[in-house]
Structures are given as structure tokens and as C-alpha cells.
Structure 1
């Protein structure tokens, strides 16, 4: 059999395409047909909204812990002894109390509206790109091994293997890399909203006039206002401050995210003789995938956040790039909060995605 000839079984691995929308049909039929034709976009949008609302308070705590300066000056015992920096712990509980004191319960959702739109848009792009590219990798493995990873992952008693993880992981890496160009400006404005109160507070010592002017330009600004201030302060490239860190984070993180999710879902469902859409398996797999992705990416994510906060509080000539240090305990501050957020958000996201997708597939188009 030549490689140009696709076996009959390859035709059944992709979801069936619905006929084009007939706009002469009743409104209910048009709506159902449109939803089924855009099932990936619809399900990922709904899942993103639910997941963002569920995990945003923990994300606010994580960002405020990450930008907190844990290096303080410890008073010397005598006047002859030099003052040395000491590591000051800023707990999640202390951070939560500060957020609540500044803004009440609403403070935990400060800046949530931009992510509701941006995360929804980015996830739609990510899931759509992932959905399409995974079939490319599946074609590759099927052509060279005769086994389809996409078919195997739904077969009862099947075990996950390297081709399965590679198919989903590589598709996730490509999808994550593509989405960065859309997500970076919105993530920067989200960080600006989450740390806006700290930019308003006075700083110890004399503040450089250039830095003071930059800080003032972001005060009281919404999403578009922050974007405008970034362009004014740094040019159009200012919208992509920290894109290198974010690119590294999202390529590696999204690869682990989707690869781990599919592998764990198999382990908890079909490998145990359960259906592939078992809700408990989906929740556990989603939570573990979020935990693994977050654990691998956390030091890079912390550096990205610190660098973006520096861009928001310092003149472009005075912005310092924080070092990436995987073995410095300061690099792991806020890890437990971020880990909890990642697990909750991912479990809710995938469970919602799978349930909405199932409901969409069951829509009857008359």
C-alpha cells in the first residue's frame, strides 16, 4: 500500500463534518447547525469562561505574591554591624487579607473582565489549533506504524504509550506557541489590573522621576487605557513585554498540559474498562495536567510576571530582566497557590469542555 493511498479506517478518525448552514431554515435549526459546525470554538469558549471565573481569585493571590519583594533589610543588632537582606515570607493568607482589605471580595476579581474576553479568545485559538494539528500527528503515526493514537486512546483496556503522548503533546506545543501572539497583550493588562493598587502606593526612598511618570500613566486605566499607556511609554513593542518568557512558558506548558491530560484520562478511564468520557476520570486528569504544567513552568512564569511588573513600574531605560533560577527558593514563592489554581481551573475547564461537547454532539438538527 503506497503512502498516497489512505486506508479506509483513516476516514473514520476525524469527526464528521456537518453540512453548511442553510440560512433559509428556521432560526432554531440555523442555530443548532451553526453550533455543531463550530463545536470546538463553542465548547472551548464556554469552558474558558467557567474555568476563568473559578480560578481567578487564586490567580490574583498568586500574582501579588510573585511581585512582592521578599528581600527586606533586617535591622542590625548594633550600629557597627552592616544591614543584610533577609528573606521575608509573604503567605497566601497574608496576601489574601491585604487584597480583601484594599478592595473587599471584589478585590479578588479585580481585572477579571479582560481575561474573560482574552482567555476565552486565546483558548478558542488554542483548542482549535490543537484540534486540527493533532490529526496531522495522528496521520504521521498511522502512516508509519499502522496504529492511530486517536483511535487507540478511546479503545477499552488500551494503555497510553509514547505515540499517544507525542501526538497530543506536539499538537499542544504548536497551539500554545501560536496563541502567545494574541495572549501576551491581554495578559500584560491583566497583570497591570491585579497590581494596580501597589503601583499607587508610595515607595520607600526617592522614586526616579522617569519611573514616577510611568507609574502615573497606568493609574485608573482600564484595559484599553493600559494598552495605550504601554504604547506611549514603550512603542508598539510595549504590548509584547515579556513575550519571550511567555513563549517558552506556553510552548512547554501547553505540550505538557494536553499530553498529560490525555494520558491520565486514559489511565483513569479506558485502561480500567470505563468509558472515555467518565466524569471522574476527566476531572482527575484535568487537575493533574494543570498541576504538572504549572510545576514545570512556575519559575519561568514568576520571572515573566516580575519582568512585566517592572515594565509597568519602570522607564524602558531602567527595566531589569530578573534571572531565571530554578533552584532559588524565591523563585518558587506562591507556588502552592498557583498549583491549587491550576488544578481547580484545569479540572473545571476540561469537565465543562467534555460535557458541553457531548451536549453539542447530541443536538438534533431537523
Structure 2
């Protein structure tokens, strides 16, 4: 066991007076490129990161689920026979919502035992690194094994998305859960959100002497409220006005028609999605043909599109990206849903600290909030740890 798994095991024993049946975990994620394309049935290219959420779980002899965590006081109790989105709230909704979504998908939980659950995590909350999907996926792999369910990784990702959409109320796509379930070391996950076909894409970061800096703006966001839902609605309205089911059906050749058919704001929202889909495809091709040092312009173009067309960045994000590139980053862009959260910079590993210092200095000089900056590595997806 790693030190963290041992600590989670000990915390479970302290909370419930017995050892857990097992410990499962799932990672947060960084999206290399492809923002707000997932719920438009487009393309995304995320990777799982080496920050995780752990679920220590013990089986019970009744139908009760008890939830505790290392980051919040108190205990949440629920019955498997009375799960509903209306009866869930707070962080526990991400866990109970997975069980509810399984039943909602037609999975028979009539013989499922109750569970005692202890959650721990080192994925920052509100940082755009998908702490919610890490929680959903850790719960999902634990429930699947303990209840002997026949669910593959994409099916579990789908269930996590339903939990987030319906139990939590955040209108997200499949990107976060797919990355958390399917991640591999030193690989990104290319996902076609229309067909749900996915495959690993080698990144060769170590081989090329590169690292990923996460620059957390410390401006917190919530997908269940605010601008994320507005962008979701704007994309749906744009698709309807253009006579298509989703913006996946719109290509660059259709943008002239779209500009004539849509109001100026909706057109810019549509243009971001269309061009971002193409940037994902171009990034996959460029990684294969020329390696990660060649994708900087695509990352920078994605950042500009999110800033100007989709309008989901904040000043802290924009300045961090600009400062990182000026200091020698290959490329930089916001990652996640926006309105705060984090940006990432692809940097030469030997210059990581120098670039981080330059970013911190630029934000300090501008009188903006101090960022939290750290490196992440593409890592393995959801798994059993004990």
C-alpha cells in the first residue's frame, strides 16, 4: 500500500470501527485541448493526472449507505431503497448520485448490500481539474466490484455523467468521467463524444523533456451554476437555428452560413466549438507526426478562442497563459469549464520553476489573485488500490 492508501484505510477504521473491504481511487484530469466540445458531441483530448480521490468502502448487511470524508465533518446516511436526486445535496450527491444513476439505467440493485464509505482526495476542488468526476469514478469502480456488476469503463463514465447531470444538476458532457476512467501513464485520451469511441494517444512528455504546469487561478467555479449552463444553452440554440441536432454536425465550411443565420454572440459560441473540434483533430495528428513540442500554436489558439469567442476565461487565467508563453512555455491555455479554475502550460521541464515564477510575478504586478502552481503527469485511470 502507498502511504495515502494506508492513511485512508486507517481513517476508515477510525470512523467505522473495522477495516474496509477495499480501497478504490480515480484521478482528476487536465484537458489538453477540446473545451466545451463534449456536450456538443465533438472531440476532446484530456488526460488523467497524478492527483486522486480515494474511496475506502466496507460492505454492510443492510441497505444503508453511510458516507464520511476527511475534508468535511459529519456523516450522511441514505437508504438504497430511497435514492432520488431531490434527496441529495453537497459532496455526497456525487457518490449517492452514482448509485441512483445505476438504478436509473436499469441496473438491478435489489440485492445490493449497504455500504460504509470514507472519502479522501488530493484533487483541488473548484480548480477545473474535475474533482467531481474523480469522486464519481472512484465510487463507480467500487460499487461495480462490490455489487458484482457487469459494467465496462465507458459505461461507468456514462453513469458518472448522469449522476453529475441529474443528481448534482451540472450540464456537463462525458469528457471528465472518460478521462478519469480511461487514463494511462504518459498518454492522453482521444474521445469522440458522438460515438463514444476512445483510444490512448502517446504524449512522450518525459522523452521530450517536457512537463505540464497547472496554474490554479484560485478563482473558484461551479458547473451547476452560472455561465456554464448559459454556454450549454447557447450551443443548443445555435444548433437548433442551424437545423442540426448538435454542433458536431457543423464544420468550418458552414461558418459563413452560421454567421448569417445567428445573432453575433451565438455565432461566436458556435465558431468556438467548430474551430475547437478541428484543433483537437489537428493536435492528435501533430502529436503523431511531430511530437508535443509542435502543439503550442494549437494550445494558444484554443486559449484565444475561449477568451474571445466563448468568453469563459477570467483575467487571472488570461494573464497566466500570456506570461507563461512569454517566459518560454511551448503553449498555454485554460483547462476545464471556465469562469475560474486552472490553466495549463506545456513547458520545458528544466524551465518549469522559472516559468512558474514568471507567472506569479506577472499576476502579483497586476494586483491579481496569487495562483497556486504545480506540475502534473499523465497517469492511470480508476483502479482498486487495496
TM over 0.5: no
If each structure's strand is expressed as a fraction of its own residues, which one has the higher value? 2
Greater gyration radius: 1
Q: TM-score, normalised by structure 2?
A: 0.25
Q: TM-score, normalised by structure 1?
A: 0.26
If each structure's helix is expressed as a fraction of its own residues, which one has the higher value? 1
